[in-house]
Amino acid sequence: MKVTRAALPFLPLCQRLFPSRLAGISVAILKATALEIAILAGHLLLYPSGITPERRSAPPLPSPDAAQLPTEAKPPVVLLHGFIDNRSVFVLLRRNLAQHGRQHVESLNYSPLTCDIRTAAELLGRHIEEICERTGHERVDIVGHSLGGLIARYYVQCLGGDTHVRTLVTLGTPHSGTRVAPLMNAHPIVRQMRPGSEVIEELRGPAPGCRTHFVSFWSDLDHLMDPLETACVDHPDLLAQNVRVSGVGHLALPVHPAVAAGIRQALDIAETGVGATAQTGGLTVA
């Protein structure tokens, strides 16, 4: 897979100002930063639409005019947003999944006042059980962005959620803790996302027999992950695949079409059982 990078009007200038290798790195950072700013601006416009919880209903019938790929019944997909965010971040990903046969996709909001990952994971578990009961499926797939992925992992690994979660896809999630923004340590959730916190240490503990397949997308230009590799799942008991994404930042992970294609591929692989072995290198989106 290739991430298509739009040309910037000042690209020739950058190439003249910097040596060849340094120019490549600098231009990549400039492109990713420009994309992050554009995504942030668009997300701020959509943010109010995602404040209220999503209405729960039966999966809608596809429009006869809509182009749909032939599909079989697939498990529900649950989307879980990151810190200080809401379900509006998944507008494009949700549409992409629906167009490719995921007939039941739900976006969950957790309270912006949430101060404990464990509590949020317990609430997530109740939502998952309710979705399974309502849809008739025994298991679901989860896609979690940033903190959302950490909440979902805690549910799967520490609260027995692997009985209900088939695949957990994380996007820019600090699985080993991140050191960025030390001034935000006043917030309990931020402290729990630090390396060595009680929550991170619990996730480092044994998890024998965990049945969930983990797929972690991490970006080489994610400025909220310090170190960058903290967004990888590294645990001897977990079936995990880490997917390196080049050229996009933290906010672009749930938005970029190439990442969406990678998410669909990860879910389809889990469904067919192909590649059901632990991988440390995984796919590379470059």
Q: How far is CA 49 from CA 54, 60, 247, 269, in A?
A: 10, 20, 29, 33
In 113-129, which positions are buried (b, 16+ CB within 10 angstroms) versus exposed (e)? eeeebeebbeebbebbe
Going residue by residue through the chain (286 aa), what tens digit of pLDDT does each one get? 444 333 344 334 444 434 444 445 577 787 778 877 877 777 677 767 766 676 665 554 445 554 554 445 789 999 999 998 888 999 999 999 999 999 899 999 987 788 999 999 999 999 999 999 999 999 999 999 999 999 999 999 999 999 999 999 999 999 999 999 888 999 999 999 999 999 999 999 999 999 999 999 999 999 999 999 999 999 999 999 999 999 899 999 999 999 999 999 999 986 665 544 445 454 455 4
Q: Is 241 helix (H, G, I), strand (E, B) or coil?
A: strand
Question: What is the pTM assigned to this prediction?
Answer: 0.81
Instruction: Measure the CA–CA gap between 28 and 252, rounded to whole angstroms.
Output: 14
CA triplet 44, 48, 54: central angle to 5 degrees? 125
